[in-house]
Structure formats: C-alpha cells, structure tokens
Amino acid sequence: MALSGVRVLELAGLAPAPLCGMILADFGARVVRVDRTPRSAVATDVQGRGKRSLALDLKRPPGAAVLRRLCCQADVLIEPFRHGVLSKLGRKDENPYAPVNLLADFAGGGVLCAMGIVTALYERTKSGKGQIIDASMVEGVAYLSSFLWKSQNLGLWNRPRGENLLDSGAPFYETYKTSDGKFMAVGAIEPQFYEQLIKGLGLDSDKLPSQLSFSDWPKMKEKFASIFAQKTQAEWCSIFDGTDACVTPVLSFDEVASHQHNKQRSSFIKNDQEEISPRPAPLLSRTPAVPSFKRDPFIGEHTEEILLEYGFTKQEIAKLYSDKVIEFSEPKANL
C-alpha cells in the first residue's frame, strides 16, 4: 500500500487522533497506539483498526524515555493533547447547528481528496508511478463517520433521533440562547468537565439527577436553558473562560477573527483586498503553507502568460484567440 513502511506512533486520545491513525493504518502504515496504563483500563478506541497497542505510563520518567527512543525510529507521531502537554509529558428561530455541506463537500470530498493526492505523491517516490485518486464525497463522508459506524454497540445511538448523547439529546451537549439573543455551545461530556459546567451554572451536583439519567435529560435541558437565558453571552464567557467546562460562545463571522484565541494563534489572514479567511491548516513547523495574499484571479486574466510559459508562440495564441478557443480578461482599473 501507499504508506507501506511508514511507522506511526499514536498517543491514545479521543476521536480526531484515532481517526487520523486509522486512516494512516488503512493506507498501509504500521501504527502503534501508545495506550495508558494500567492494562486493566477499558479500551475506548473504536477506530483502532489496523493498529497495535503499547501500554506505557508516560507520567513516569522511564516511560517518557521509552517514548523518546520509539520516536527516534518512527516516521510520524500523533499526539492528541493540548498545546504544550507533550513537551511536559442555524436555522431561523432555532439553535445553531453545523452546516452540513462542510461534512460532505469539503471534509468527505475536498480534504480526503487532498489526502489521497498527498498519499499518492508519497507512494510515487517509491514506485515512480502515478495513480488515479477516486475521491467520492459519499464514500468520503462515510469514512469520516467511521466512529458512528463502529460505535453502534456502545449504546450511543440506541435512542430515537434527537435523544442520544451526541445529537442534542443530552443537556450537556447542546446550544443555549442567552439573554441578548446570542448562543453558548456546551459539550461537557466527561464527568470532570460536566462538574465544571454545573459549577459555572451555579448548581449543586448533589441535588441534581445523575449526568447519564436519560429520563431526566428533557427536564435538565429546560433547567439549563432557563439559566443560560438569564445572562448575556459576554457574561457567560467571563464565567466559563479559562475553565474546563467545555462552554464556548457561538460567534458570528465578524466575531470569529477578532476572538482572542484566534488572534493569538493568527488563525485568520487578510488578503490585499482586506478580505478575511482562515489560515491554511494544519500548521507545519518547518515548511508551513504560505498562502497568496493577492485577490482571486479574473477568468482568463493569465491566459497568455500561462500559454507562453508552457511553450506556445504568440502566433499560436493569436490563432486560438481568433478562433475563440481562448479568452483574455484584463482587470479594470479602479477609477
């Protein structure tokens, strides 16, 4: 396979990192998942296809030393932690929801197509041969949903639509309207994060039903909604910023680029026309992407330039133009 011979170390984590590791394994890489000890811990990675597991205590110096030795012989290290951890070892009148075309068109289609291209380019360095990348949006989005398919037996999806853990059924995985008509997104699944959410809402967990009491979820959603409706989005941000409650503001396009987190990471860039767009991701440490800051080209703006570059003569270009095979388009001056 294309990635045959590539050695990958994947430090065990949640959904994104395991999916990445599974993709690499699916294309032939030898993926070792470095699991936490003790060995009695229940494996939660349902995207472990094609991987091998190494249980290692990274919190102890000898364990960290083992990892460093492994890294010396590995080609790729996938780590799912927060930045710096490893170095230490909507519809109208409804709550917002993710635009679905991001899933099929861009993620299932564009991103996986790019991954296929890069994979084929890498394989070409070994075989010297090219190949066709068949990137189907339907198959791509199905592949992205591997977690959904492979978690059917975990009890995450056995309730009716809209009543499950991750599809807005849970009160701690939902969006809530604030007093100023804006929204806060809540994703406090893990118990320690849920406790921070309860604390921020001014509630006492000892007086509430169990977090996973499904029958109490509708009542708890109403309670959470009534509390969030009592403060503005800015007030809730002042309460939850800097905590592990997994509560964040739902921002408009105008607000996203100016958000402090994005400003600190320079996550958005401006072109020569002051148009804002996301910086290319992921960020490579040595050879990062350098996006053009020029405006998008007009159709036919570089026709002659390109044909000359590829060896066409001016006479050939003129003939193509007179035969209406090609078109030129020069940008109009701003008067």
Check residue 91 and give its pLDDT. Answer: 44
Element (DSSP H or E) covering residue 73: helix 61-73
Lowest-pLDDT range, 30-34, 123-127, 239-243?
A: 30-34
Q: What percent of the chain has pLDDT over 70?
A: 90
Lowest-pLDDT range, 87-91, 130-134, 246-250, 291-295?
A: 87-91
Domain with CATH 3.40.50.10540 in the chain: 7-88
Check residue 167 and give its pLDDT. Answer: 84
By DSSP bridging, strand 30-35 and strand 51-55 are parallel
Secondary structure (3-state) at 315: helix
Domain with CATH 3.30.1540.10 in the chain: 173-250
Q: Could you report the per-residue pLDDT of 138-193, keeping only the tens digit for each?
A: 899 899 988 888 888 887 888 888 888 888 889 999 999 999 999 999 999 999 99
Active site residues: 105
- Cβ(31)–Cβ(52) under 8 Å? yes
CATH number for 7-88 (one of 3.20.20.300, 3.40.50.10540, 3.90.180.10, 2.40.40.20): it is 3.40.50.10540
Q: List Cβ<8 Å contacts ≥24 apart for 95-100.
A: 95/174, 95/175, 95/176, 95/177, 95/183, 96/175, 96/183, 96/185, 96/250, 97/175
Element (DSSP H or E) covering residue 269: strand 268-270
Per the rule left: phi > 0, alpha: psi between -120 and 50, beta: everything else, 266 is left
Whole-number Å distance between alpha carbons of 275 and 295: 9
Check residue 29 and give its pLDDT. Answer: 86
Is it the case that residue 208 has pLDDT exceeding 60?
yes
Confidence of residue 40 (pLDDT cuts 50, 70, 90): very low
CATH architecture of 173-250: 2-Layer Sandwich (3.30)
- Within 10 angstroms of residue 25's Cβ, the number of other Cβ atoms is 24
Can you spell out the DSSP letters for 101-116? HIIIIIIIIIIHHHHH
